[in-house]
Amino acid sequence: MIRFDYHTHHYRCGHASGNLRDYIESAAAQGITEIGVSDHAPAYWFDGVNHALPGTQMAVTELPVYVAEARELQSHYHGTIAVRVGIEADYIPGKAVELSVLLSANPLDYVLGSVHYVLGRSVFDRGRWLDERPDETFRAYYELVKDAARSGLFDILSHLSVVECYAPPMHESLQAELYPSVADVIAASGCAVEINTSGYRKMGADEPFPNRVLLRELIRAGVPLTFGSDAHTPEQVGFGRDRVLALLTELGVRTYAPAQITVRREPLWAYMTG
């Protein structure tokens, strides 16, 4: 049984429900022994704007309040369930300094790195596939993923292959071209990759993020794998753990242990591959 979940949200992002305590209580009730709170970081790339993307991310002024509340809950639940204080931050090219300043001012246990914007548009924008060449978008997305891994800003990379969820299927030849180099760059960076079960849930897909083909490459390259439900309601905490465990077993991954995958504080749990 997978007993950790490092990707959860709450009301501050504007598109999730429940407070931090609700998510922690849900995890504890399921026998999860380590829960990470990791709501969306502010849109730091809009210089001088406090709340640039309401309904998507928290305001800049909310971040220290969020961290302080999470630390209080971490102390409160000590001995009952381990609480890790994290955040999900976007990788935006050319804005590494701004993100570094934001993170330095708000000490965290870990940072999830996500690519939500490619060629100026959201990865969830279904309309983009009406006027874009999928192969160009796929190439651009995976270059950003590699840049995010190399940046040194992130401990865990989130929902890889998400750009493909509404897109025409990627051809096997392009997968063979892109995926191995992505896996090798991530392995060299020291980042972990989460298996994100929102791929099962909100997309109606048969696979998590990353998809099975990319996951095989990550395992080949020896990338540590964590688990994230990407919960946006307390009931979604731990979603799909059994399916992920079965998938990892099928792919020959059976051992997990505390792994030094964070440059910030304590090690997090991960499945060790390679």
- The CATH number of the domain where 244 resides is what? 3.20.20.140
Summarize the confidence of residues 29-39 as an average pLDDT. Answer: 98
Q: Which residues pair with 37 in a beta bridge?
A: 85
pLDDT > 70? residue 146: yes
- Containing H/E element for 257? strand 256-259
d(CA 262, CA 81): 20
**125: domain range?**
4-271
Contacts of 232 (CB under 8 A, 6+ apart): 9, 15, 16, 17
d(CA 77, CA 114): 28
Cα–Cα nearest to 247, from 176, 201, 203, 197: 197
pLDDT > 80? residue 240: yes
pLDDT > 80? residue 274: no
Query: Both tokens of residue 205?
Result: 């897909």
pLDDT at res. 8: 99
d(CA 240, CA 10): 19
75-134 confidence digits (pLDDT tens) = 999 999 999 999 999 999 999 999 999 999 999 999 999 999 999 999 999 999 988 899
pLDDT > 90? residue 137: yes
Question: In the structure, what pLDDT confidence band is assigned to residue 64 with cuts at 50, 70 and 90?
Answer: very high
Number of domains in the chain: 1
182-212 confidence digits (pLDDT tens) = 999 999 999 999 999 999 986 667 899 999 9
pLDDT > 70? residue 265: no
